[in-house]
Structure 1
């Protein structure tokens, strides 16, 4: 008897889905993308074209990268059915420690970054132990962590900001890749990188489709598939062109891109990723099937600690200061990004790409409302309504499916 774990045998009896079937199958993903596009177009009109100016797009990346880093880790926590309220305070505490090491004690930048990331891992392990092995709800553990590390930040900095960081540290958030191929008004290296990445995306999608055909999987209509590739190819090159007309690709975008690719691969292509989804879907069933649920949950929180530390370093580098107020409400923005991006409040559902799209929605709303002169009080209220609507839609879809 063939094992159920074996890959399906290659066959050629594939079938193309209708456009309606494709839309229904990917409704959650398409809804997120359409929402992002609508919000972009809306604020582009309301700001008289300021939103998509090269300078503002670069600022959007620089201002929101630290939240996107947190969202990548947070979506894994949410998929497992937990929540982490401490990420903003952890980011602030690690940023404070990095400032004390680098600015006050002249610790080499690279060594200080490594120590800071290890500190984040240790904090994540501390919280993961209480959640995974002691079975204290993550809400309580991380709420305690939020209070503890915010207090430690105030103690460490004595209520004062310290600055400035050396140029090498600031370059992490404020620097750009050099133009090795040009040097004029257009950043040629950025254009080449954008074109190559677009080609690689097309090649990878085409290869994936050929594999689906060989195994007889249902496929998108070929016309829709080609149209999707063409649109994404054009968008990637336009994005590269816009960046190239200013300063090129920010260093922080390179860091973020590597994280997105890495975590997308882990969640989609590895056993560890399947275990994370299995725990969120049904922890009891996952445990009975042989998955070490406690170990997986523990490492998800360790990972969240590391990404919180990285977010704190990126934010400190952008501010060029370690400040006691750093990380304020970071956790709410990261959680909102995940839910707006399609993660389920019940666990078991969510993607890295969705979290990034949700984070961009939040970032564009913040930036667009700031350009329009909307006060911070109204901004918070509007973001709250958007988050509520996203979770309500998730619950509606879940009840409808049932």
Structure 2
């Protein structure tokens, strides 16, 4: 629940001294109304999970299925993080799917045919991703070629490159336990019991860290005389979020615990959340997305931001390719197909504005979970693939319509 910040002359849920001027439910209604863009995706995820849990007689919420669902989201979640920044600055990247597939195939070739170790392969693939992003950023920023054209061409180029490098065998099988563990392995436990104790410990640490950051943020707001939510509302938020973290942790602990894929996604989200909320580069990204001309006139190097965003996007596409290839334990000719569509859909469902300048990486992760949950739930229900595409298309249109309507308000 976002903090409510208003001028002293307006009616506020609470004053600076914590004296409530609204009841708890009145304040909740005000917060939901003012932050409906942020809360809408969470509400949608809860509703989807509840529906599928009921229609599958609880199978959807089983430890095994939730663990698989979260792991399946990994490679799309990483792409969605990068796509969030691209969409925020009012650009697009259609090449990320086949960039991921191509670089995943290059990783397979380096590991199998060239015999290079994982510790060498991974940095090389990430650097190649950065180079690809800088190339596309150059075409967009310096030559002023529309990003749609540049990345559409990139999609065709890297699709052809993927077919070329896999032309001999069609599928490159990877027999490297360390690499395959990235997409299929789980963090080791400190005991050999049925419950994954280390996962529970990490979940408790996450809850403690969340509570500490919330209390610290509240103290800082009060220190500088900003409005904050009431103590009761803060307590409700802490209890609710802590319960969600604890529940997910318990489910995962009952099935192998945290996977390396989840750990990687958490690290990526944490880094990009920090960059977008706590750094100058992050503020510049939102400024460029909000109004490129005004950002340029205010002294922001818009071209530099485009370079950074596209280099970041392709680097994350390389990481996505590593996760996907590792999960399949092979590189295939179809790797990367429609990844860009899933990433764009996840970002929009997660709250990124179609007009640019608005969006959060954490929201895009929730959007990715929504899209994956839809696929997983419909598969468990036996819904045909044709209907799955139709339903996901309707969800995407609904998310954009919701964005347009809330921006008008």
Matches within 5 A, 1:260-279: 260-279=269-288
The equivalent residue for 1:172 is 182
Question: Do the aligned partners of 1:93 and 1:150 also contact (CA within 8 Å) in 2?
Answer: yes
Question: Do the aligned partners of 1:14 and 1:216 also contact (CA within 8 Å) in 2?
Answer: no
Alpha-carbon distance in structure 2 between the residues aligned to 1:141 and 1:338: 20
- Name the Cα RMSD after superposition: 1.4
Question: 321, 324, 328: which is aligned to 1:315?
Answer: 324
Matches within 5 A, 1:381-396: 381-396=390-405
Alpha-carbon distance in structure 2 between the residues aligned to 1:275 and 1:165: 44
Question: 348, 352, 365: which is aligned to 2:361?
Answer: 352
Q: Which runs of 5+ in 1 are unaligned?
A: 1-10
Could you list the runs of 4 or more consecutive aligned residues of structure 1 that deviate by over 4 angstroms after TM superposition?
11-17
Question: Do the aligned partners of 2:88 and 2:286 also contact (CA within 8 Å) in 1?
Answer: yes
1:364 aligns with 2:363: no
Q: Which runs of 5+ in 2 are unaligned?
A: 1-14
State the Cα deviation string for residues 43-102 of structure 1 (Å, max 9, x = none). 111111011101101111221100000000000000000111010010011011111111
State the Cα deviation string for residues 305-357 of structure 1 (Å, max 9, x = none). 10000000100000000111001100000000000111011100000111011
TM-score, normalised relative to structure 2: 0.93
The equivalent residue for 1:89 is 98
SS of 1:162's partner is: strand
State the Cα deviation string for residues 17-47 of structure 1 (Å, max 9, x = none). 7333322221111111111100010011111
1:157 aligns with 2:199: no
Matches within 5 A, 1:104-183: 104-158=113-167, 160-180=170-190, 182-183=191-192
Question: Do the aligned partners of 1:90 and 1:146 also contact (CA within 8 Å) in 2?
Answer: yes
Alpha-carbon distance in structure 2 between the residues aligned to 1:310 and 1:197: 24
State the Cα deviation string for residues 90-122 of structure 1 (Å, max 9, x = none). 001101111111111111111011111111111
SS of 1:322's partner is: strand
The equivalent residue for 1:44 is 53
Q: CA shift at 1:13, angstroms?
A: 6.5
Alpha-carbon distance in structure 1 between the residues aligned to 2:206 and 2:192: 21
TM-score, normalised relative to structure 1: 0.94
The equivalent residue for 1:305 is 314
